Amino acid sequence: MKTRIDSPQRDRWALLRFAIIGPLLAAPPAPGELAPALEALAARTWRHPLTGEPVQFGFSTLERWYYTVRAAVNPVITLRNRLRSNVGQFPSLTPLVIETLTIQYREHPGWTAQLHYDNLKAALQGQDVTLPSYPTIRRYLKAHGLFRQSRPKRATAGAIAARDRLERLEVRSYEVEHTAALWHLDFHHGSRKVLTRAGTWETPMLLGIIDDHSRLLCHLQWYLDETAESLIHGLCQAIMKRGRPRALMTDNGAAMVAEETTNGLAMLGVLHQTTLPYSPHQNGKQECFWGQIEGRLLPMLEGEEGLTLGALNRATQAWVEREYHRSRHSEIGTTPLARYLEGPNVARECPSVTELSRAFRIEVQRRQRRSDGTVSLDGKRFEIPARYRTLPEVTLRYARWDLIQIDLVEPRTGTVLCPIHPLDKSAHADGARRALAPAPDLSPLPASGMAPLLRQLLAEYAATGSPSLYLPKEETR
């Protein structure tokens, strides 16, 4: 059975008036019979279109309705309530009241309408001005978009700038047209603690990477920290499973803007887009997904005592692959897995595991110690191959959490020259040394007479013919 949809208020009045006057239009009364017909209608009781209570209409009102619609093309539209000439205006608010209220709102945007009204009444006390009622002030604030603003948790420049931008520019939902055109990445603080091997309870962090077009979870994994190492560990798995995306959107967290992260995305040809500070709505698809984690996944683990990180990750993977990816998404009208497979895909092939892991590193310059051909990196010394012993400074590429894979690179082209390893003093204790590659003979030679430059200066001085500028003194000894 279809649900009856009530007519708008304007149409209810128009339909009632037409129901009253309509019979006179369908069967026009004879000359001299209009007045008795209108008097008969005025004596009847009708049902109020809004409240349902009995109501009557006067003779003059019915007569005005009749003559209004008699020549109208559409009588129902003609019988609608007419808008007031000053609709949307506030004639009871004088310019002084409006100016005072506007300044007050700009100074205190977090006040309620009642607080604005009370302070406005106090500010205008003693002045020759009539203050309108509280409902009028409240309607004026709403009509002009002067809504109550929440106070930022931290009144920093970024929070204030984000609030001002939200007021100036509209917020619209968006969606890219291709799969893998845009991924969203974020961390979420879980509400359920896990038991670690150290016997402590820790709050896990959920790394989620979601495809914007299909809402498919490219990767989802719990960690015990929110570091760049954990982020890259999960991001590499997402790329290995779904390919390289065209763009990645994150917030401005320390792990997201770490140099390893930004360098790796640039090396892989992935555009890194960050949201504005204090603007989580720009990553709204990710924020919306966390609601399913807290409202569906974690409640199913309430009876699991001594939950470990491994058990939590296994349950999360099973839930994502068997339920979330196969459940209809109300926003896209199908399942994330179906849309991912059907939609146009612009993902690129995943590089090799070695190339992928070595992309997320930083480059630093270190001065080589000439005495033993080593450099210092994060408090440890590493050996530089002897063939590069003439370089005063070397460029190294590494990840700060992994001192196993450190490469010496050519700074002008970025080409990897060779890997370097930590200094092993015990291995050098046997006294054996590797012979250096043949080099030009640079052994010292005895000096041969006067230097060429000084001989040239003496010749030029003698050629001028100038007398000597000193008086020789005869030696008596």
The range of the structural domain enclosing residue 13 comes to: 9-78
Mean pLDDT of the chain: 86
Residue 43 makes CB contacts below 8 A (sequence gap 6+) with 56
- Predicted confidence at residue 170, as pLDDT, reads 56
- Predicted confidence at residue 69, as pLDDT, reads 84
Give yes or no for residue 264 having a pLDDT over 90.
Answer: yes
- Predicted confidence at residue 405, as pLDDT, reads 92
> The domain spanning residue 222 has which CATH number?
3.30.420.10
State the pLDDT confidence band at 5, using cuts at 50, 70 and 90: very low
Cα separation of 245 and 270, whole Å? 6
Answer whether 185's CB lies under 8 Å from 256's CB.
yes
397 membership: H or E segment, kind and range: strand 393-399
Q: Same structural domain for residues 138 and 278? A: no
Answer whether 320's CB lies under 8 Å from 206's CB.
no
State the pLDDT confidence band at 335, using cuts at 50, 70 and 90: very high
Answer whether 268's CB lies under 8 Å from 261's CB.
no
With a pLDDT cut of 90, the percent of the chain lying above it is 40
Q: Same structural domain for residues 243 and 331? A: yes
- Predicted confidence at residue 299, as pLDDT, reads 92
Whether 433 maps to a domain, the answer reads no
Q: Same structural domain for residues 323 and 298? A: yes
Cα separation of 260 and 274, whole Å? 16
Whether 460 maps to a domain, the answer reads no
- Report residue 347 CA to chain centroid gap: 22
Of 139-148, 356-365, 442-451, where does mean pLDDT reach its minimum?
442-451
Give yes or no for residue 475 having a pLDDT over 80.
Answer: no
Give yes or no for residue 4 having a pLDDT over 50.
Answer: no
Model pLDDT for residues 123-164, shown as the tens digit of each residue: 888 888 888 899 999 999 888 888 887 766 665 666 556 556
Answer whether 235's CB lies under 8 Å from 218's CB.
no
Give yes or no for residue 165 having a pLDDT over 90.
Answer: no
Whether 355 maps to a domain, the answer reads no
Q: Same structural domain for residues 289 and 404? A: no
Q: Taking residues 312-336, what's their average pLDDT? A: 93
- Predicted confidence at residue 2, as pLDDT, reads 46
- Predicted confidence at residue 3, as pLDDT, reads 44
- Predicted confidence at residue 76, as pLDDT, reads 80
Structural domain count of the chain? 4
Whether 229 maps to a domain, the answer reads yes
Whether 86 maps to a domain, the answer reads no
Q: Same structural domain for residues 216 and 68? A: no
Q: Same structural domain for residues 282 and 322? A: yes
Q: Same structural domain for residues 329 and 202? A: yes
Conformation bin of residue 105: beta by default, left when phi > 0, alpha when psi is -120 to 50? alpha
Q: Same structural domain for residues 193 and 251? A: yes
Ranges of H-type helices in 144-216:
157-168
Q: Same structural domain for residues 50 and 122? A: no
Of 38-42, 60-64, 324-328, 464-468, where does mean pLDDT reach its minimum?
464-468
State the pLDDT confidence band at 394, using cuts at 50, 70 and 90: very high
Q: Same structural domain for residues 277 and 139? A: no
Q: Taking residues 256-280, what's their average pLDDT? A: 88
